[in-house]
Amino acid sequence: MEICEDTKSLSPTIFEDAKNDREKFWENQAACLHWFSPWDRVLDWNPPYAQWFLSGKLNACYNCVDRHQTTQSRHKAALIWEGERGEKLTLTYEDLYIEVNKFANVLKSLKIQKGDKVAIYLPMICEAIVAMLSCARIGAVHTVVFGGFSHDALKDRIHDSDAKLVITSDGGFRKGKHIFLKESCDRALCECPSVKNVLVIRHTHNTVSMKEGRDHWYHELKEKVSPECPPVLMDAEDELFILYTSGTTGKPKGIVHTTGGYLVGATMTMRWVFDVKSTDVYWCTADIGWITGHSYVVYGPLSNGLTQVIYEGAFDFPEQDRVWQIIEKYKVSIFYTSPTAIRTFMKWGDAWLKKHDLSSLRMLGTVGEAINQEAWNWYYKNVGNNNCPIADTWWQTETGSIMIAPFYGHTPLKPASATQPMPGIEIACVNDVGDFENAGYLAITSPWPSMLRGIHKDPKRYEETYWKKWDGNFYFTGDGAKIDEDGYFWLQGRVDDVINVSGHRLSTSELESALTEYHGIVEAAAIAVNHEIKGQGIVCFVTVRDGHVHDENEETKIKQHIVNKIGALARPEKIIFILELPKTRSGKIMRRLLRDIAEGRILGDTSTLFNHEALEQIKGKYKDENEK
Ligand code: WTA
């Protein structure tokens, strides 16, 4: 089946249809995929556990690759890859089919079977996408770890997922420098007994050490396998992937997605939001290490038979017009990026855009955090030349696909609002006791096909994090929102201890436990402060052991320690050394007072504060730091 060019799903009655009979509606949407055998029930909802399309059999890779082999899509480009140094590689859907079959057979030759977990730690290269699809083809569960994460973060994720195989490369390129992925991988693997084999893609031609019996070059194994690997029939509820995301505790959560419902969500929202046509050239700048990379670089675009651009490298390499150059060169028609990226482009200036013809663009999107009005206006005027709609899309790793966004051609835009829920998605603002209000916690009030099915190995945490607040009735998103008189949603940011840096989630406790591992630090509190480019930046308040001798580079060293423990995106803006953290009588750190100080606000309620004198010292210290 080709992309539904004139799809009925774009009918204006779609919202009504979905409201009138939600299950029937989703059943109709699921019919857009290829199923080896149909489901016998649409939904089994046993709060907070949902199953969709029960007993239906399908394969996600088949839907993204095989079914395009019998249509005109076969000979069109699926992936147009550009490397940072200008290298280019195009894979048609036929090429993708050949690559995926071989890759899947290599996985099998390493004894990977249905249900096995495979960690993928790669740069943005075609093989990363091929690796994910190949896992899906044989029923292995991939867990992609962002290539910018440190060896420690990789180790934690491999541990928790019990991955048997890691797929990595001899490196990557960023800002003209080598990224040493294999080395990070080797360090992580010292403590990962579950990993039996490492598959290494040759990309940078860096010399790397290969451990005898454990490490294998992909290009060597590829020569030895047969070219055909039949897709495994997967149950709709078989796991497709695990993706780790930060929660409110130090331990990342392995969000589990299954095959059928997830693919229905990713495929259909791709059409509804971007109204994709077979002539489109689409570019989503997300890395495959994030959910946006999963749903809107891999599964959504490919199941729709789209042509897309992928780019490995920095936006400002060699100069600050790289993005515009790529759009012009490949005639990109749909561009999907983050508010942080937009603010960065804004800062670099309009002159870089003016050098390029961006007239191929017809549609723009954003994701990851609320977009501010100024950035929206700039994006609309300068990138979209005042005639491309902007889809501000709200969703999460847990939701699997876009939840709130304008429905292409039907939802009038309001700049900086994500607008309204997608058809078939029921969302409300809810107060503490579960009443619907015009402002409050953003809650999803009925199950949806691409919802997470759980947290890997931790059902209790799943129940408590997402469902306990309203006794299993509604899903708690962790975001606050307001609804205006037209029913439009305005996202207000997180209501929990999650910091959103450049659209990436980090938990305060993950940061704090990393800080206290640093020699000499006794206690730490990490907070978010407004940041012009990143949306939010991290400021850390730390107390040190008595007698600890400060060395003059201590702040830099602590920042580097955080980068080593978590990754570069977690690098704090500031480390502030204080004598005591503000606490309640029961010893709870009052982060909100630290936030008030950092934002220069009048302090909120201090009635529960135990150590008032600490606050005065912190205020003074913060002021000194700012004046530095
Ligand atoms: C935030 C990314 C406002 C939000 C797909 C959410 C947004 C978290 C938007 C999920 C948006 C994402 N407007 N806030 N358009 N999109 N967020 O799991 O706080 O990396 O809960 O998924 O990002 O981040 P995640």
Tell me the pLDDT tens digit for each residue of 439-470: 999 999 999 999 999 999 999 999 999 999 99
CA-nearest residue, atom 22 of ligand 1: 396
How much distance in Å is there from the Cα of 478 to the middle of ligand 1? 10
The confidence band for 588, taking pLDDT boundaries of 50, 70 and 90, is confident
Task: Name the residue of 394, 414, 452 to mutate for ligand 1: max ligand atoms within 8 A of Cβ.
Answer: 394
The confidence band for 247, taking pLDDT boundaries of 50, 70 and 90, is confident
pTM, two decimals, is: 0.90
Ligand 1 residue neighbourhood (C-beta within 6 Å): 245, 290-292, 367-370, 392-397, 418, 477-479, 491, 494, 500, 505
CA-nearest residue, atom 15 of ligand 1: 394
Provide the pLDDT for residue 586. Answer: 66
Query: DSSP state, 13?
Result: T
pLDDT, tens only, 193-226: 999 999 999 999 999 999 999 999 999 999 999 9
Which has more pLDDT, 299 or 516?
299
pLDDT at 1 over 80: no
Q: Which atom of ligand 1 is nearest to the CA of 290?
A: 20
CA-nearest residue, atom 6 of ligand 1: 396
> What sign for the dihedral angle of Cα 33, 35, 39, 43?
negative
Provide the pLDDT for residue 621. Answer: 86
Mean pLDDT of 325-334: 98
pLDDT, tens only, 484-515: 999 999 998 888 878 999 988 888 878 988 99
pLDDT at 414 over 90: yes
Query: How many Cβ atoms are within 10 Å of 325's Cβ, its own excluded?
Result: 16
Task: Please provide the average confidence, as pLDDT, over all residues in the chain.
Answer: 93
CA-nearest residue, atom 5 of ligand 1: 396
CA-nearest residue, atom 23 of ligand 1: 368
CA–CA distance, 628 with 468 (Å, rounded to integer): 45
CA–CA distance, 203 with 12 (Å, rounded to integer): 47
Q: String of b and e for 590-602 (b: at least 16 CB within 10 Å)?
A: bbebbbbbbeeee
Q: What distances in angstroms separate CA 382 from CA 173, 364, 375, one per listed residue? A: 29, 12, 10
CA–CA distance, 273 with 334 (Å, rounded to integer): 11
CA–CA distance, 141 with 382 (Å, rounded to integer): 41
How much distance in Å is there from the Cα of 179 to the middle of ligand 1? 27
The confidence band for 2, taking pLDDT boundaries of 50, 70 and 90, is very low
Backbone φ and ψ of 440, nearest 5°: 155, -150
Q: Which atom of ligand 1 is nearest to the CA of 371?
A: 13
Mean pLDDT of 373-390: 95
* 178-182, 256-260, 492-496, 531-535: least confident range: 492-496
Q: Which atom of ligand 1 is nearest to the CA of 395?
A: 5
Omega prior to 48 cis, within 30 of 0? yes
* 171-175, 470-474, 585-589: least confident range: 585-589
Q: Which atom of ligand 1 is nearest to the CA of 493?
A: 19
CA–CA distance, 144 with 263 (Å, rounded to integer): 17
CA–CA distance, 178 with 58 (Å, rounded to integer): 39
How much distance in Å is there from the Cα of 396 to the middle of ligand 1? 5
Mean pLDDT of 278-307: 97
The confidence band for 334, taking pLDDT boundaries of 50, 70 and 90, is very high
pLDDT at 584 over 80: no
Provide the pLDDT for residue 550. Answer: 79
> What sign for the dihedral angle of Cα 612, 613, 619, 621?
negative
Q: What percent of the chain has pLDDT over 90?
A: 80
Query: How many Cβ atoms are within 10 Å of 513's Cβ, its own excluded?
Result: 16
Q: Which atom of ligand 1 is nearest to the CA of 397?
A: 18
How much distance in Å is there from the Cα of 451 to the middle of ligand 1? 15
3-state secondary structure of 173: strand
Provide the pLDDT for residue 369. Answer: 86
Amino acid at 323: V
Task: Name the residue of 396, 399, 401, 403 to mutate for ligand 1: max ligand atoms within 8 A of Cβ.
Answer: 396
Residue given tokens 């947290």 in the structure block: 455
- Can you point out the beta strands (E) in 121-182? 141-144, 165-169, 172-174, 177-179
Mean pLDDT of 32-61: 98
- Can you point out the beta strands (E) in 26-73? 41-46, 49-54, 57-58
pLDDT at 548 over 90: no
Q: String of b and e for 273-291 (b: at least 16 CB within 10 Å)?
A: bbbbbeebbbbbbbbbbbb
pLDDT at 8 over 60: no
